[in-house]
């Protein structure tokens, strides 16, 4: 509905008119609202340009600082009229605003795209990936990944945007790590971290290409423990540990008797022990939670350990053990929170004292704490020849991993050599042209 006080006033220019606001001022004069009118092809076009006080847009004044508002309005009329005749461009202030808004959206999107493309790998790792890793993953995993990035990736690709990182850079990183005699497994960890970072960046829209890890040759992994402890060596090692550290002795005994990893043992709580069933609940293990079955010797060790802890707590009011089932079975000696991260130096001291690693440099042949789990698996398979039983006992997700542990001992291999020798001897004794039937 038209406002009653509006009274259009013609200007000296054809098609340009205005009306004055009864109250609002622009300087000493009343504010004016300008409108333009023109006809094309027998059709009338009538558009409002705006209030005098709104002033001329800055981008137009940059080209002509002395332009007046009426001249600006006339230029708008000429532009719309020409666009209507040509059938292209903004034909009205509404279309001009729409085009301007679309242009602004496009420019903003382009600016965001350029900003994302210019995000460096290092900025993404320190501001996004590693903080997310610290929130969502285990503390040990965060420490490992932060160290891998800082030591092996930051200097080479940290200052590069994702789109500038190529397989060439990763091959250079591989070479540097190899030159420093780092293991194939460590190189794999670095490449896996790089691949994960690219994957997360892709999910978050920071990067739209593919990971350069697809275009490189990954190092072959061969960290299988070939050596295991004989029954005699295992007993000697346990005896050597017993005189040095009862805690490490008990942890080693548990690994030898139940095939547990060090990390699984370190996180065991008293609530994990089911004395009646003779089992241990292994929670949040590498391939998922599982149940481990205790040998008589392992059950006796845990029973004695709990008895000693309770006795010590009764005689020592400052003891950390308060009878809480969620307390660790093997707490840190320092009394600090959390499970132990790795076996203490005492283990290596005991191994050295027994000369188990004397003259051995190949990591696959050296005795480590993990060798206890490998020894358990090897002896279990050699006693049962049951691959599935060994797999379930170790908590492997598939039988492929178990095959690495299920190696025949030397006597079994000698039995195989003897068997094939007999079979070939039978063939030599056969008469010429006479078929030999082998039993299936």
271 part of a folded domain: yes
Rounded Cα–Cα distance for residues 124 and 163 (Å): 13
Total domain count for the chain?
Answer: 3
Between the CA of residue 71 and those of 10, 11, 66, what are the distances in Å? 15, 11, 10
As a whole number, mean pLDDT of residues 371-377 equals 90
Rounded Cα–Cα distance for residues 144 and 138 (Å): 10
* 312 lies in the same domain as 374: yes
440 part of a folded domain: no
417 part of a folded domain: no
Confidence of residue 156 (pLDDT cuts 50, 70, 90): very high
* 201 lies in the same domain as 60: no
**197 CB neighbour count, 10 Å cutoff:** 27
As a whole number, mean pLDDT of residues 387-406 equals 73
* 327 lies in the same domain as 349: yes
* pLDDT score at 436: 44
* 235 lies in the same domain as 371: yes
Between the CA of residue 363 and those of 81, 227, 282, 358, 359, what are the distances in Å? 84, 10, 28, 12, 12
**119 CB neighbour count, 10 Å cutoff:** 17
CA dihedral 256, 258, 262, 267 (to 10 degrees): -150
Is the predicted pLDDT of residue 160 greater than 90, yes or no?
yes
* 393 lies in the same domain as 278: yes
* Tokens found for residue 9: 């006033």
As a whole number, mean pLDDT of residues 391-404 equals 74
As a whole number, mean pLDDT of residues 226-249 equals 92
4 part of a folded domain: no
* 98 lies in the same domain as 69: yes
Backbone angles phi and psi of 199, in degrees to 5: -65, -45
* 293 lies in the same domain as 152: no
Range of the domain at 378: 231-410
419 part of a folded domain: no
Rounded Cα–Cα distance for residues 245 and 264 (Å): 19
* Higher-pLDDT residue of 183, 167: 167
Helix (H) or strand (E) holding 389: helix 387-394
Q: What is the CATH number of the domain that holds 179?
A: 1.10.150.130
2 part of a folded domain: no
Mean pLDDT of the chain: 85
* 199 lies in the same domain as 247: no
274 part of a folded domain: yes
* 276 lies in the same domain as 391: yes
* 258 lies in the same domain as 366: yes
* pLDDT score at 254: 95
* Alpha helix segments (H runs only) across 31-138: 58-61, 69-86, 93-117, 121-124, 130-136
Q: What percent of the chain lies above the pLDDT cut of 90?
A: 53
- pLDDT tens string 255-265: 999 999 999 99
Last residue of a domain, one of 47, 79, 109: 109
Q: What is the CATH number of the domain that holds 406?
A: 1.10.443.10
Last residue of a domain, one of 89, 109, 129: 109
| 60 in Cβ contact with 72 (< 8 Å) | yes
Confidence of residue 313 (pLDDT cuts 50, 70, 90): confident
* pLDDT score at 134: 93
**415 CB neighbour count, 10 Å cutoff:** 11
* Tokens found for residue 373: 């789990």
* 320 lies in the same domain as 400: yes
* Alpha helix segments (H runs only) across 259-398: 262-266, 296-315, 345-353, 370-384, 387-394
Backbone angles phi and psi of 223, in degrees to 5: -110, 25
| 258 in Cβ contact with 298 (< 8 Å) | yes
422 part of a folded domain: no
* 270 lies in the same domain as 338: yes
Last residue of a domain, one of 215, 249, 278: 215
């Amino acid at each position: 509905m038209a406002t009653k006080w509006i009274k259009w006033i013609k200007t000296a220019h054809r098609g340009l008119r205005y009306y004055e606001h009864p109250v609002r001022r622009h300087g000493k004069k009343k504010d004016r609202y300008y409108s333009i009118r023109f006809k094309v092809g027998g059709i009338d076009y009538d558009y409002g340009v705006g209030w005098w006080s709104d002033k001329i847009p800055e981008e137009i004044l940059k080209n002509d600082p002395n332009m007046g508002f009426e001249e600006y309005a006339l230029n708008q009329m000429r532009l719309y009229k020409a666009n209507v005749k040509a059938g292209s461009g903004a034909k009205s202030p509404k279309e001009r605003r729409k085009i301007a808004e679309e242009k602004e959206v496009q420019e903003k999107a382009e600016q965001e795209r350029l900003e994302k493309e210019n995000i460096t790998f290092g900025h993404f790792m320190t501001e996004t990936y590693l903080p997310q890793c610290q929130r969502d993953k285990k503390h040990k995993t965060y420490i490992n990944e932060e160290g891998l990035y800082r030591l092996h990736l930051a200097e080479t690709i940290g200052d590069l945007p994702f789109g500038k990182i190529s397989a060439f850079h990763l091959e250079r990183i591989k070479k540097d790590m190899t030159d420093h005699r780092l293991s194939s497994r460590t190189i794999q960890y670095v490449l896996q971290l790089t691949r994960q970072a690219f994957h997360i960046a892709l999910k978050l829209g920071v990067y739209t290409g593919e990971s350069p890890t697809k275009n490189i040759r990954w190092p072959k992994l061969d960290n299988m423990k070939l050596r295991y402890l004989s029954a005699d060596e295992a007993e000697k090692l346990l005896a050597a540990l017993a005189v040095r550290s009862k805690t490490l002795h008990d942890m080693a005994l548990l690994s030898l008797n139940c095939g547990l990893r060090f990390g699984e043992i370190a996180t065991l709580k008293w609530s994990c022990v089911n004395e009646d069933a003779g089992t241990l609940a292994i929670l949040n293990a590498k391939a998922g939670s599982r149940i481990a079955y205790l040998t008589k010797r392992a059950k006796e060790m845990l029973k004695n350990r709990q008895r000693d802890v309770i006795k010590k707590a009764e005689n020592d009011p400052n003891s950390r053990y308060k009878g809480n089932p969620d307390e660790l079975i093997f707490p840190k000696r320092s009394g600090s929170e959390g499970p132990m991260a790795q076996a203490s130096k005492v283990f290596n001291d005991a191994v050295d004292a027994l000369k188990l690693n004397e003259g051995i440099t190949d990591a696959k042949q050296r005795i480590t704490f993990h060798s206890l789990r490998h020894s358990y698996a090897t002896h279990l398979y050699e006693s049962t020849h049951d691959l599935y039983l060994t797999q379930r006992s170790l908590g492997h997700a598939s039988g492929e991993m178990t095959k690495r542990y299920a190696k025949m001992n030397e006597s079994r291999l000698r039995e195989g050599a003897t068997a094939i020798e007999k079979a070939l001897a039978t063939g030599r004794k056969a008469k010429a042209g006479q078929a030999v039937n082998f039993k299936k």
